[in-house]
């Protein structure tokens, strides 16, 4: 069960007991949206009004999965039910991501209409996300509504990090297509991708995922969440590791990512929260294809190859992979096989490192129905 406050955009999460009963305490006056989700059932939401000093009951009759009424927060910055949203918005829940066993942001977004996701190679290689045909930098990447950006980028966007953004501990992904610049600044001309953290709450819970595969792939992910003192303090977090030791075209990669969220409700109207999202990644890169032209290159790489001045089209014949690996070990070629160029040599000193960490501390205070205060750093 999740309670969304329309005025302050604050959220509170709890779980039902064995009888299906739940309780939110110390909720201040105002308008709210309540959302309920359970495995095997559709996701439902309702709106309600809390009056000063009053208490009440709100019942839900769940149906088998098929009908869904997800609460959205990206299109306007405040919680809304689906029938209140005027923009084109798609939601990918954490359950969908788990079912499809996707590990990166780009993989999770491939099925969203209006988005073009392109990756130039295997894991860790350059990735781009375009909304409705606009530039890469016109799609804003958010974490819980706050911009993720590369301060060194000329556009101030997150395009240099997209291929390194992995699924760690999300509640869902919200994708709003169409200009969102009035809410999220200039990088949201095409649209917005909002990574919403798991809010935790309820009794302590968690899960562990381990898998392996070809190309030396190993993936591990651990998530935890819970709360204390009813809904006064809630937390969630996760760590994920992807290691591909023998990647496509001999490009091994490794990615270690973390995501965390915590919030303390000081009073019903005042809360202090913190969230973080970051990673450390490594990708080995290869040299561009080249031909042996100098006498030294010919003797070392392609013995027996004699450059000739010939006209017309020359068919390119690549050196075999096992012979490339000999060169990478500092050995000479033993079987040229009629090759006349070397496609991709792996250089242990040729690599790309990517590291980022975004941390936010947020103070929320709801003064009355018409006025509230939110400060973040």
The DSSP string of 323-341 is HHHHHHTTPPPS--TT--B
Q: What's the mean pLDDT in 45-50?
A: 82
pLDDT at 47 over 50: yes
Check: CB of residue 80 under 8 Å from CB of residue 32. Answer: no
Domains of the chain, by residue range, sit at: 2-285+352-376
Q: Does domain 2-285+352-376 match CATH 2.170.130.10?
A: yes
Give tens-digit pLDDT for 18-28.
888 888 877 77
Higher pLDDT pick, 256 / 40: 256
Alpha-carbon span 220 to 175, nearest angstrom: 26
Pairing of strands 191-197, 139-143: parallel
pLDDT at 272 over 80: yes
Residues 6+ apart with CB under 8 A from 135: 190
Confidence band (pLDDT; 50, 70, 90) for 363?
Answer: very high
Window from 155-159, 238-242, 293-297, 309-313 with minimum mean pLDDT = 293-297
Residues across the chain: 377
Nearest to 58 by CA among 20, 104, 109: 20
Confidence band (pLDDT; 50, 70, 90) for 90?
Answer: confident
Instruction: Report the mean per-residue pLDDT for the chain.
Output: 82
In this prediction, residue 310 carries a pLDDT of: 53
Which tokens is 229 given?
């003192």
In this prediction, residue 308 carries a pLDDT of: 54
Confidence band (pLDDT; 50, 70, 90) for 294?
Answer: very low
Give tens-digit pLDDT for 316-343.
788 888 887 787 777 877 777 777 777 7
Cα–Cα distances in angstroms (integers) from residue 161 to residues 15, 133, 362, in the given order: 35, 20, 24
In this prediction, residue 305 carries a pLDDT of: 53
> Longest C-alpha distance within the chain, in Å?
93
Give tens-digit pLDDT for 140-172.
998 988 888 888 888 888 888 898 999 899 988
Q: What's the mean pLDDT in 199-216?
A: 88
Nearest to 84 by CA among 116, 45, 122, 26: 45
CB crowding 33-43: b at 16 or more within 10 Å, else e: bbbbbeeebbb
Higher pLDDT pick, 306 / 48: 48
In this prediction, residue 295 carries a pLDDT of: 44
In this prediction, residue 278 carries a pLDDT of: 92
Check: CB of residue 333 under 8 Å from CB of residue 323. Answer: yes
Check: CB of residue 285 under 8 Å from CB of residue 305. Answer: no
Higher pLDDT pick, 101 / 82: 101
Window from 39-53, 119-133, 165-179, 192-206 with minimum mean pLDDT = 39-53
Environment class of 148 (CB within 10 Å of its CB; exposed 0-12, middle 13-18, buried 19+): buried
């Amino acid at each position: 069960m999740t309670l969304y406050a329309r005025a302050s955009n604050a959220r509170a999460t709890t779980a039902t007991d064995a009888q299906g009963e739940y309780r939110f305490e110390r909720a201040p006056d105002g308008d709210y949206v309540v959302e309920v989700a359970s495995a095997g059932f559709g996701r439902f939401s309702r709106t309600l009004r809390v009056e000063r000093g009053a208490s009440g009951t709100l019942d839900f009759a769940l149906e088998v999965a098929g009908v869904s009424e997800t609460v959205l927060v990206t299109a306007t910055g405040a919680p809304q039910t689906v029938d209140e949203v005027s923009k084109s918005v798609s939601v990918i829940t954490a359950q969908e991501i788990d079912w499809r066993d996707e590990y990166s942001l780009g993989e999770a977004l491939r099925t969203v209409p209006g988005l073009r996701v392109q990756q130039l190679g295997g894991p860790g290689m350059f990735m781009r996300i375009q909304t409705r045909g606009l530039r890469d930098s016109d799609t804003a990447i958010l974490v819980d509504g706050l911009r993720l950006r590369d301060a060194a980028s000329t556009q101030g966007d997150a395009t240099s990090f997209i291929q390194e953004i992995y699924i760690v501990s999300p509640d869902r992904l919200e994708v709003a297509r169409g200009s969102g610049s009035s809410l999220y600044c200039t990088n949201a001309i095409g649209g917005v991708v909002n990574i919403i953290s798991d809010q935790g709450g309820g009794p302590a819970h968690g899960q562990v995922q381990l898998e392996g595969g070809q190309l030396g792939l190993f993936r591990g992910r651990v998530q935890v969440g819970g709360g204390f003192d009813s809904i006064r303090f809630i937390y969630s977090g996760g760590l994920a590791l992807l290691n591909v030791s023998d990647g496509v075209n001999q490009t091994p990669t490794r990615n270690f990512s973390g995501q965390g969220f915590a919030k303390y409700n000081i009073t019903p109207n005042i809360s202090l929260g913190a969230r973080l999202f970051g990673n450390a990644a490594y990708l080995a890169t290869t040299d561009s294809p080249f031909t042996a032209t100098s006498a030294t290159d010919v003797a070392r790489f392609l013995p027996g190859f004699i450059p000739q001045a010939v006209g017309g089209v020359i068919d390119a014949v690549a050196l075999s992979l096992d012979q490339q690996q000999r060169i990478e070990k500092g050995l000479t070629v033993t079987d040229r096989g009629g090759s006349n160029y070397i496609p991709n040599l792996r250089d242990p000193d040729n690599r790309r490192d990517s590291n980022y960490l975004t941390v936010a501390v947020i103070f929320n205070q709801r003064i009355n129905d018409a006025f509230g205060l939110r400060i973040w750093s």
